[in-house]
Structure 1
Amino acid sequence: MKTFPIPTREQVSPANQTIFDNLTKLVGHVPNLFAAFAHSDNALGNYLTLQNGKSSLRGKEREVVNLVVSQVNKCLYCLSAHTAFGKMQGFTDEQVLEIRKAEISFDPKLDALAKLVKSIAENQGHADQQLVENFYAVGYNEGSLVDVVMAVGDKIITNYLFALTQIPVDWPAVPAL
């Protein structure tokens, strides 16, 4: 496979240079996957708009979606990044492993979410109807379901970009399941 180059700030468009500067202030560096988006003059800004859009899902719920979809898609980059973000949301190492397996013992609502997300990702949107009903039964609604689909789509974008580029993972390594 051809090595996919990671552009530097000087190699990207002025709009992407501004985003790189903001990411550096926010995160301390430009994550390699975000830099890969910057090969396009528009993709990084468009992706960040999607990722940072308003949602009915809380931070922990979004990390459940991110971790489950990334596990289904075997995306080492996103599993590594979202393990770090999940810990920032308060999840323990053990809880992150449960989330990745979609077998959450510590929160029934997150468990229903994880099981539905796993079914959505594995079945290309054709989730098991019982899992949809369980999702509603624990307190989610139709708006929540739409926001879950948006979050799944967000994560598929980054999972696929990593699969195609195999850029170096610049997050702490995670154990395989």
Structure 2
Amino acid sequence: MTDFPLHTVDSAPEDAKANLQAAEKKMGFLPNLFAKMAEAPTLLEAYLALDGIYAKTSLSPVEQQAALLAISADNRCSFCVAAHTGGIKKAGADDDVIKDLRARNTPNDPKLAAVTRFAKHLNAQRGWAEQSELDAFIEAGFTHQHVLELVIACALKTLSNYTNHIAGTPLNEELKPLAWEAPAP
């Protein structure tokens, strides 16, 4: 595997430094994903901007994180599963939901089950959602707006999961208690 740099604010390309500083200030540490993305400052900028946009969707914070965690688990991205485990805990999800999502199972909560099922379907089908899946998601109480907002979740996970796979992003010390091992393909 090619050795991609794990940048610090000091070693990063000039165009990435402000984004790294802002992320470190906001999170209290510099996620290694961002340290890897900094090699391509526009990728880092795109990810951070899209993440901020996704946070403004009409999905609840738990629903947002559940979709990201479910997609990351299906994409076998250990870094993102750990990161979104922290995110969904912070959003207030209960431990059973988190356990189910990390095991790639459907949560018992009907709304979260619908969100994660549809997000995983959308991701697996590369956007070619089957009508029956769309119908089931809408029947669970969601809207066409929610359908399209989950496209953002898939886009975010494409950016981060692919980066982690290509760059071999190691877990930060802060995320090690949330470590997850991807199942064999």
- TM-score, normalised to structure 2, is 0.87
Distance 1:43 1:123 in 2: 24
How many residues matched? Answer: 176
Structure 2 letter corresponding to 1:108: P
Paired position in structure 1 for 2:126:
124
The percent of aligned pairs where both chains have the same amino acid is 29
- TM-score, normalised to structure 1, is 0.91
TM-superposed deviation, 1:92: 3.1
- Confirm or deny: 8 A CA contact 2:23 2:30 kept in the other structure: yes
Q: Secondary structure at the match of 1:55?
A: coil
Paired position in structure 1 for 2:68:
66
Distance 1:94 1:56 in 2: 24
Distance 2:43 2:106 in 1: 34
Q: Secondary structure at the match of 1:10?
A: coil
- Give the 3 Å change call, closer, same or farther, for CA 83–7 of structure 1 in structure 2: same
Structure 2 letter corresponding to 1:124: R
Paired position in structure 1 for 2:180:
174
TM-superposed deviation, 1:151: 1.2
Alignment of 1:1-177 (within 5 A): 1-53=1-53, 54-100=56-102, 101-105=104-108, 107-170=109-172, 171-172=175-176, 173-174=179-180
Q: Secondary structure at the match of 2:30?
A: coil
Structure 2 letter corresponding to 1:23: A
- Confirm or deny: 8 A CA contact 1:119 1:127 kept in the other structure: yes
Distance 2:89 2:159 in 1: 22
Structure 1 letter corresponding to 2:17: Q
Distance 2:20 2:84 in 1: 20
Structure 2: which 5+ residue stretches go unaligned?
Answer: none
Distance 2:7 2:80 in 1: 19
- Confirm or deny: 8 A CA contact 1:112 1:131 kept in the other structure: no
Structure 1: which 5+ residue stretches go unaligned?
Answer: none
TM-superposed deviation, 1:97: 2.2
- Confirm or deny: 8 A CA contact 1:102 1:118 kept in the other structure: no
TM-superposed deviation, 1:174: 2.7
Distance 2:182 2:161 in 1: 16
Q: Secondary structure at the match of 1:42?
A: helix
TM-superposed deviation, 1:60: 0.8
Q: CA RMSD in A?
A: 1.7
TM-superposed deviation, 1:4: 2.0
